[in-house]
Amino acid sequence: QSTGLSKSLRNIGLSGFSMAQIENILSVAVIKPFAIQAMFNPFSSNAETIKFCQSHDLLLIAMSPLDYQNSKGKLLSDIVVTEIARNHSASPAQTLLAWAIQSQTLPVVQTLNTDHIKENIMLSDLKLSEK
C-alpha cells in the first residue's frame, strides 16, 4: 500500500548511477524507476545501456544527443553526420535526433532558438537507414 510521498508519485527517473547501482535500486524499489538519463549520441552510445534499459522496461533519456563531452558542436559538423544529413535532406541536428529516436531513446535537447525548436519538431518523418 502506498503511503506518504509514494502516493503522489507517478514516475521517477535516475541519473548519474552505474548499472550496478541501478540494479540494486531496482531490487529494493517500492516504486520502480520509469527512466534512466544518460549521455547518448553516436560517439557515446552504449549498447549495453540500451539492452539493460530494455530488459528492465526502462526508458533511456538521451542526454546530450547533439554534442559529446563539451565538444562545442563538433558532432553537428562531423563529416559522417553531415553526409547522412545531406543524403536525407535533413539538418545534422535532425539526423542526430532521428538516430537517437530510432535507437529507442528519448532525446532531450535544450534551446531557446525558435528556428531550432521548429527544426527539431520537423524530424518526425525522418527515417534513417540501417547503414
Over the stretch 9-29, which tens digit does the pLDDT of each residue have? Answer: 778 899 988 889 999 999 998
Sequence letter at residue 118:
K
pLDDT tier at 4, thresholds 50, 70, 90? low
**Quick one: average pLDDT of 117-124?**
79
pTM, 2 dp: 0.81
The answer to whether 37 touches 14, Cβ cutoff 8 Å, is yes
Summary mean pLDDT of the chain: 84
| Residue 107 vs residues 30, 39, 47, 98, 120: alpha-carbon distances, Å | 27, 10, 16, 9, 11
More confident residue, 85 or 74: 85
Percent of the residues in the chain that have a pLDDT greater than 70, as a whole number: 85
The answer to whether 106 touches 59, Cβ cutoff 8 Å, is yes
Sequence letter at residue 28:
V
- Separation between Cα atoms, residue 23 and residue 84, nearest integer Å: 37
Residue corresponding to grid cell 539492452? 51
